[in-house]
A and B are shown apart, each in its own frame.
Chain A
Amino acid sequence: MIDSINPTAKTIGTLIGTLILGLTFQWQVNSVVALLCLLFLVTSKRTNPTTLLKIMVPITLISLSYFFTGWIFSSEQALFALANNSVPSPSGKDFVNGLKLGTRIFSFAMLGISYSLTTDPHELIASFIQQARMPMKMGYAILTAINLTSLIQRERDNSKLALQVRNIPVKPFDTKPMFTMMIRMVRWSERLSLAMESKGFSEDRVMQMQMTIKRRDILFAVGLPMLIAILGFAVF
C-alpha cells in the first residue's frame, strides 16, 4: 500500500514524522514506529527481501553500538562514575538510557528505509517536478546521472587501470584517478547538456508520467506525523 502513495506526500509525511520522533525520547514509541515501518516494508511490492536483510545488518549494528555507548557512557553514568568506579549493571537508568538511544537510531533508520526502498526514482522525480516545483533541469539532471551510474563505474575502473598500465601504483585515497574522473565529469556535463538541449529540452515541456495527489496521500502526509505525536506525547 505504501507503494502507491504519492512520493512528495510520502517525503513530507516521513520527514515531519522523523522530526517529531526526534523530539520524543521513549523507547516504546521508537519500537512502535519501527514495527510500523517493518509492516510498510513487508507489504510493499518493491522491497526485495535479500536487499532488506542486507540493509538491516548495518542498521542493527549501529543501533547496538549506540545502545552500548548510551549504556556505558551515559551522561548520568559519567557523573556517577567520577565518584565511585562501579561496573554498569543491566538494570536501572543507564540501561534504559542505552535502550532509548539504540531504539531511537533504529527507528530513524527504519523510517528511512521504508521510504527509500519503496520509492521509484522515476516517480519520485516526476512528483517532485509536478508537486514540489523542482526545476525540470534539476530533476532530469538527477535522472540522467542515475542512468549513467554503471557507465561511471566502468569509467572509474578504466581510469585506475590506465594508471596501473603506466606502471604508476594507485593507493587508496589517491587523488590521481579522482582528478581524472572530475575532468571527465566536467566534459560529460557539457556533452550531455548539449545533447539534451538540442533535443529541445527546456522547462517548457509536457510529461507523460502524471503524478497526482489523492485523498489517501494527504492522509498519509498528515496521519503519520500525527500518529507519532500522539504516541509520543499522549500515550507513553
Chain B
Amino acid sequence: MKSLNKLALSVEDLSFEIGGKKRIDSVSFEVDKGEIVLLCGGSGSGKSTLANIIIGYYPEYGGKQDVSHIRISGEDVQYQSVVERSESVRTIFQNARLSFSMKTLREELVFILENSRFNPDEMNGMVEDKAREFNLDYLLDRSFDDLSGGELQRAAFICADLVDVPLYIMDEPFANVDEETMQDYIRYMKELVRKGKSVVIIDHHVDRWNWVDRWLLLDSNQQLHDLSLMASETTKRELLTKEGIVVDASAVPKRDLESKEILLELDKVTLYHEKTIRKSLFKKETQTTTLIEEAYFNLNKGSLTALVGPSGIGKTSLFKAILNVSPYKGEIRLQGKNIKTLKPENLYSKIGLVFQDPSLQFVKTNVLDEMVLSLTAWEKLEDDQAETKAREILDQHHFENKASQSPWVMSQGQQRRLAVLCMTVGDQNLLLVDEPTYGQDARNAKKIMDKLNELCRQGVTCLFTSHDRDLVDAYADQVYEIKEKKVCQVR
C-alpha cells in the first residue's frame, strides 16, 4: 500500500458512458509522483475520453460518470469543474492551434497568468523568464498564424509549464511533429519528471516510449491493463497485437515495378506564400516567404511516393500547388500538360486530395449518402443503382454496419478510411494524401496504406506525406525529402 502523498493521480472504479454506450468500464489506476506513464489503446478505445474525465470536461459537459474517487495529489477532485481542476492538472491537446485563444505567445502566456491571478506588474517579467528558459524568446511576438506545427507544439508546452501543477496530461503531443522537435520535447518531459511532476502520455506510437516507467493499455472492452504487471514479454506483445497497437511489419504486400510512363512533372517549381502586412500609417509591406526553391521531380504512373520533411516545411502547400490553389513559379505538368492551362474542373477530375483533416470532405449526414454522392459525382447513375453500388463498396471495406451512421461521429481512424474510399471511386490519375496515418493506431494505419498500395497496383499514382519513418520505409517506392527549401530524392 502506497502512502497517499506519494500519489499524483488515483482513479478508483471509474465507469463512463456517452452517446448511449459505455466507453470506460470499472477502471482503476494510479500514477506516482515523478512518474511518467504511457496510456495506449486502439483508435476509439476511449483514451481521450479518459483524459477528458480526469481534467473534468466530462461529466460537466455531457456523459454519465460513476466513480468511487478521482484524486489528484491526494485531493478529491470528483466534484470539481474544469476550471477548479486547472490548479492541479494541465493538458496539451491533439490540435495545438486550437488550444490558443490569443494572437501571440506573449498574450497567451499573460492570459494564463491572469487566470491564475498573478500580480499584473510581474507578468511581463515572468513571461520573459519562461521564454528564455525554453530558448523561445524569438517566438513571443510572432502571430500564431505564422508558426509551424512544431513551433505551435513547443508553444503549447511552455503554456502548460507556466503554472506549477503536479500532473500533466499530453494527448498525442507528437501527432504532427518531426523528429527533432520530438527530441526537444522529450527532454522537456524528463526535466518535468525530475522536478517531481507526473506525466500521462497518450500516443499511438508505442515504440518511442520504451523509456517511460509504465504502459497502461485501454482495450476494446473498455478495460484498463497495466502492462508492467504482466509476467512475460510475449503475453504483452500478444495483447498489443490483438488491440491493433502494433502489427507485424513483414506483411506489406510487394509490388512489381511500375510502368515508365511519367504522370506528373515538376519543372523548376518555386513555392511561396505572400502576405500583406500593415507596418504603419503609410507603409504597407508584402512579405514573400519562399518554401521550396526550384524543385524538380517526376512521378511515374502507378508509383507510391512519400514526401517527408519537418513540420511546416511546405508539404501541404506543395499539394495545393499541384491543385493550382497555392502560388508557385515554374511549371507543373500533368500527363505532359501544364496544369495552369487546364480548367479547374478538368484538373480536379484528374487529381484527388485527401486532407490532413479528413472530416473536411464530408457533407452528408450518413455514410451511405456520402458514398452515393461520391459515385454520382463521377458518373450518371440511377438512384437505386448508385445505392446498390455504394453498399457494395462499403461492404467490401467493412463499413457495412456503419451505412446509416453519421460520418461526423465516427472515430478519426474510420473517418480517414472513409475519406480515402470516397476519393478513390472516381477515375483520378493522381491521388495526393496528406498524413494518411495521422493519429491512427498501427492496425488502421496499415489498412489505409494497404488500400493505397492496392490502388497503385491498379495504376493510380499516389503521393503521400508522413512523419512516420517506419511506414514510409515499408511502403514507399520512392521517398522525396524537403530540406532547406530543396526537394531531394532520398530513395
Contacts and interface: CB of A to CB of B under 8 A. Distances in A.
Interface residues of B, number: 66
Given A49-B282, A208-B123, A198 B363 contact: no
Given A49-B282, A50-B284, A161 B325 contact: yes
Contacts of B99: 191-192, 195
A144 B101 CA distance: 5
A194 interface: yes
A205 interface: yes
A63 B86 CA distance: 54
B83 A202 contact: yes
Contact of B98 (A49, A143, A158, A195): A195
A185 to B, nearest CB: 11
A198 B55 contact: yes
A194 B116 CA distance: 16
B26 interface: no
Contacts of A184: 359-360
B103 A147 contact: yes
A43 interface: no
B100 interface: yes
Contact of A48 (B83, B89, B278): B278
Nearest to B351: A165
Contacts, number: 137
Interface residues of A, number: 47
Contacts of A179: 363
Nearest to B113: A208
27 contacts: A45-B281, A143-B101, A144-B101, A144-B102, A147-B100, A147-B101, A162-B361, A166-B352, A166-B377, A166-B422, A167-B349, A183-B408, A192-B98, A192-B99, A194-B52, A194-B82, A195-B93, A198-B56, A198-B90, A199-B115, A199-B159, A200-B115, A205-B114, A205-B117, A206-B120, A208-B113, A208-B114
Interface of B: 52, 55-57, 61, 81-83, 85-87, 89-91, 93, 95, 97-103, 110-118, 120, 123, 144-145, 159, 163, 278, 281-282, 284, 320, 323, 325, 344-345, 348-349, 351-353, 355, 359-363, 373-374, 377-378, 408, 422-423, 426
Given A198-B82, A208-B123, 4 more contacts: A49-B282, A144-B101, A191-B93, A194-B82
Give the 6 A-B residue pairs with the shortest CB-CB distance, closest first.
A200-B115, A195-B99, A144-B101, A200-B86, A197-B82, A167-B377
